[in-house]
Structure 1
Amino acid sequence: MNFLKGTKINSILRGSCPVCQNESMYSEKNPYRLKETLKMNERCSVCKTKYKIEPSFFYGAMYVSYPVGIMFAGATFILSYFLFDFGLITTYCLIVLVLFFSLPIILRVSRNIWINFFMSYK
């Protein structure tokens, strides 16, 4: 994804520093290590940007997680109901499973989107 360097989408998808995009914001790359899913580095070691701008900064990411979850659910609905022609009950169960198993990814992407509202690439 080197061709996207300098764009917000690069920082959002990779979870990299929104200012320099050289280092991951998270101390653990694997979002499925549940004890460390949201554990972040305090600062970027390259540009020294502080990620937590103020106390409780990432509470706003909760509001971002709703539309991100809706996108996951909507994509699951379209694929299962229209493309694979599953019934409504099966589609509903698939949506619940997809949302459950993609929760760590949704949490991280929401944080990435939230911090990119307030910081830009330099």
Structure 2
Amino acid sequence: MNKSCSNCGQPFEPEPGYYFGAMFISYAINTALFITAWVALSIIKPDYSLSLLLSLLGLTVLIFLPFIYRVSRSIWISIFVKYRGEDFPGTS
């Protein structure tokens, strides 16, 4: 991630360890993905094996890891730093 916002200058790492809480958001997102993959596999192939399920979950994690990393950090910072786009010049 960038060090700070290019528009307003808000630092994206206000203090060391700030994004520790984003780990819990990432955990929730991954849990939702795992349940979705498990339900989809149960519908598509009702007689699946454990190795197929674990392979599917591992592949899901690898595919969505970059997305989940950034989204969980963005959600975490948006909880504490409110977006005020109209307060800054050049934004509408």
Q: Same fold (TM over 0.5)?
A: yes
Match 2:36 to one of 60, 75, 83? 75
- Counterpart residue identity of residue 77, structure 1: W
Q: Secondary structure at the match of 1:46?
A: coil
Aligned residues: CA RMSD:
1.6
TM-score by length of 1: 0.59
Which has the larger share of helix? 2
Gaps of 5+ in 2: 85-92
Counterpart in 2 of 1:103? 65
What is the CA deviation profile of residues 11-33 of structure 1, one whole-angstrom value per residue up to 9, with x for unaligned ones? xxxxxxxxxxxxxxxxxxxxxxx
Alignment map for 1:40-59 (pairs within 5 Å): 40-59=1-20
Match 2:25 to one of 64, 83, 88? 64
**Maintained 8 Å contact 1:58/1:111:** yes
TM-score by length of 2: 0.75
Between Structure 1 and Structure 2, how many residues are aligned?
82
Bigger-Rg structure (1/2) = 2
Identity percentage over the alignment?
Answer: 32
Q: Structure 1 residue runs of 4+, over 6 Å off? A: none
Shift of the alpha carbon at 1:88?
Answer: 3.9
- Counterpart residue identity of residue 53, structure 1: P
What is the CA deviation profile of residues 21-69 of structure 1, one whole-angstrom value per residue up to 9, with x for unaligned ones? xxxxxxxxxxxxxxxxxxx222212112121111221122112211111
